[in-house]
Amino acid sequence: MNGLPSVAIVIPSWNGVAHLPDCLDSIEELDYPRDRIEVVVVDNGSTDGSSALIEESYPQVHVVALDENRGFAEACNEGARRATSECVALLNNDMRVEPGWLRGLVAGYEPDAGYVCVAGVILDWDGERIDFAGGWVNFHAAAGNEHFHAPLNEALIEDGRDLPFACGGSMLIAQDVFLELGGFDPAYFAFYEDVDLGWRLWLAGYKVRLSGASRCFHRHHSTGASIPSDRQMLLLERNALWTLIKNVDDENLAPLVASALFLVVMRGVLASPSPRFDAVAEVVADLPQLLERRSDVQRRRKRSDTEIFELFGRPFAPLLETEPYVEASVAVRTLFGLDRLFTRQRATRVLVVGSGDSARLPEMARFLSDLSDVAVLAPGRSADVLEELLTESDLVLVGATTPHARTIAEKTAGLLVVDLADGTDVECPELRQRADVLLSPEDGLQALRDLVREPWRRRRGTAEVPVPEDLQQLLRHRRERRAANRPAGRFARAMSRAIPTRFEDSVRRLVGRSRLTA
């Protein structure tokens, strides 16, 4: 790309008079040529004097005044339509940006290589915690931010990595591509419109990446908090279903939508009365228009679902952590054979088996704890505890001289990594044969990050995820309940009886028991 592109910074705003000065003042300090920037505030029918404030204090800002609150999605679209620049940078009104924010986004913009959309890093207002540094999507199109609200740690920010979507609060996109694809789906109003756009970009042959150098600061949900909680839940549930129905191909549509609907109902049952049922009703009522929008999305398809699913990161992340819901998630996933669709899952549960003579394992455990959920098993713990942790972990890290070598070789379900950093070799032939990865003394912590991010690249044998995330949580629930000697509730027992034989067989095979106990 020759030279810096012109950029329209589009800021949707509804009653944002308390936030706009910080936002617009920070834009004035941008390290970017002034003649390459236009600033557009789309006022969503505000009644707090926002437009008057801008006209009086920021005359260089172009205000697009809408007669009513049309939602985040349509406000962004209207701003993009009014813009005259090559690129559109979307920014929430409750943000302030670093001087290098825009240059950072532009540095990742590489349309000739397909990267027409770039996400920026979003921190909390004090710059101490992460709001967005990457995202994940699960199989029913719900999404989340990786490391959300974790303390700022530069090791968690991977500049240039591919993302399934860019957060709409801080992103850059080619204006012509944004408008060609229809922008954000205005029917969404708010929530998940950026997930849907990211999916459509990838389907249409484009790419999305993260710019680690682009930083802004967010008063999290200060605007979103104005939406009543029941309405927020309806939008989240409905928009996830819309995203799924629009974007997956014909072969995968029925099993994924059926699975998603089962789980919406399950969440509703567990939290009744619930606007989740209203979300399903709105999806059904909107089906004719939704299928028209789906037809437009599918017409632009240049990538298969398999290619898109590989970006999800945590396809089996359950939205509720209660045991009945996790049981339902596992049962539905197994019933519809979703394991064949989603074969790539980042390591979400890591077990580090301690060894008294290893100096590097504790350091590795600390490093991994920023990337994943880590359990550390001290030497001398019972074999039963070790076996249960081995079956519920999708990455197991051990020292070469661990006294539990044979048990680990036999019972590990996930990726098995053996650390040779102390210069020792693997003495147990079963452990050496079973190990997927041998870490040499020269392998640094970056090698561990790669294993957590993409364990499938080193996994041998089955192509399926060995321990899906929902199964990890279910096994943990049952282990903790047995340890506390708590009986299963009536609902959990009923769910256990309803779980298909195929599911029970797979869990028995992992756990090594002849019968599952509720």
Quick one: pLDDT band at residue 452, thresholds 50, 70, 90?
Answer: very high
- Count CB neighbours of 188 within 10 A: 22
pLDDT in the model for residue 220 = 64
pLDDT tens per residue, range 237-290? 999 999 999 999 999 999 999 999 989 988 887 777 678 778 888 888 888 999
Give yes or no: residues 276 and 376 share one domain: no
Quick one: pLDDT band at residue 501, thresholds 50, 70, 90?
Answer: very low
What CATH number corresponds to the domain at position 408?
Answer: 3.40.50.2300
Give yes or no: residues 27 and 175 share one domain: yes
pLDDT in the model for residue 222 = 55
pLDDT in the model for residue 348 = 94
What CATH number corresponds to the domain at position 130?
Answer: 3.90.550.10
pLDDT tens per residue, range 35-65? 999 999 999 999 999 999 999 999 999 999 9
Helix axes 445-453, 360-369, angle to 10 degrees: 50
The answer to whether position 125 is within a domain reads yes
If one compares 277 and 216, the residue with the highest pLDDT of the two is 216
The domain boundary, picked from 273, 296, 317, lies at 317
pLDDT tens per residue, range 394-435? 999 999 888 899 999 999 999 999 998 766 788 899 999 999
- Calpha distance 211→435 (Å, rounded): 35
- Calpha distance 124→149 (Å, rounded): 8
Reduced to 3 states (helix: H, G, I; strand: E, B; else coil), residue 76 is: helix
Give yes or no: residues 99 and 159 share one domain: yes
Domain, as residue range, for 131 = 7-226
pLDDT at residue 140 above 50?
yes
Quick one: pLDDT band at residue 454, thresholds 50, 70, 90?
Answer: very high
pLDDT in the model for residue 117 = 98
Q: How far is CA 86 from CA 13, 63, 118, 292, in A?
A: 22, 19, 14, 29
- Calpha distance 406→428 (Å, rounded): 7
The domain boundary, picked from 177, 202, 226, lies at 226
- Calpha distance 40→274 (Å, rounded): 38
Strand partners, 121: 215
Helix axes 50-57, 20-28, angle to 10 degrees: 30
Give yes or no: residues 81 and 189 share one domain: yes
pLDDT at residue 493 above 70?
no
Residues whose CB is less than 8 angstroms from the CB of residue 146 and which lie 6 or more positions away in sequence, other chains included: 133, 134, 135, 136, 156, 313
pLDDT in the model for residue 273 = 65
The domain boundary, picked from 434, 457, 480, lies at 457
- Calpha distance 256→243 (Å, rounded): 11
Give yes or no: residues 241 and 390 share one domain: no
Give yes or no: residues 159 and 124 share one domain: yes
pLDDT at residue 358 above 90?
no
pLDDT in the model for residue 221 = 60
The answer to whether position 71 is within a domain reads yes
Give yes or no: residues 361 and 388 share one domain: yes
pLDDT at residue 495 above 60?
no
- Calpha distance 129→124 (Å, rounded): 5
pLDDT in the model for residue 294 = 95
pLDDT at residue 122 above 90?
yes
Give yes or no: residues 118 and 101 share one domain: yes
Quick one: pLDDT band at residue 503, thresholds 50, 70, 90?
Answer: very low
- Calpha distance 350→463 (Å, rounded): 19
- Calpha distance 342→338 (Å, rounded): 7
pLDDT in the model for residue 511 = 39
- Given the structure tokens 């509730």, which residue do they identify? 489
The answer to whether position 497 is within a domain reads no
If one compares 99 and 321, the residue with the highest pLDDT of the two is 99
Opening angle at CA 116, ends 115 and 117, nearest 5: 95
Reduced to 3 states (helix: H, G, I; strand: E, B; else coil), residue 266 is: helix
- Calpha distance 342→113 (Å, rounded): 26
pLDDT tens per residue, range 75-103? 999 999 999 999 999 999 999 999 999 99
Average pLDDT of the residues in 165-188? 97
pLDDT at residue 17 above 80?
yes
- Name which of 45, 49, 47, 35 is nearest 7 in CA terms: 35
Quick one: pLDDT band at residue 356, thresholds 50, 70, 90?
Answer: low
Residues 202 and 303 sit within 8 Å (Cβ to Cβ): yes
pLDDT in the model for residue 106 = 98
The answer to whether position 155 is within a domain reads yes
> ω before 273 within 30° of 0 (cis)?
yes
pLDDT at residue 489 above 60?
no
Total domain count, the chain: 3
pLDDT at residue 502 above 70?
no
Give yes or no: residues 212 and 264 share one domain: no
Give yes or no: residues 12 and 132 share one domain: yes
Tokens of 486: 């708590």
- Count CB neighbours of 6 within 10 A: 16
Give yes or no: residues 215 and 239 share one domain: no
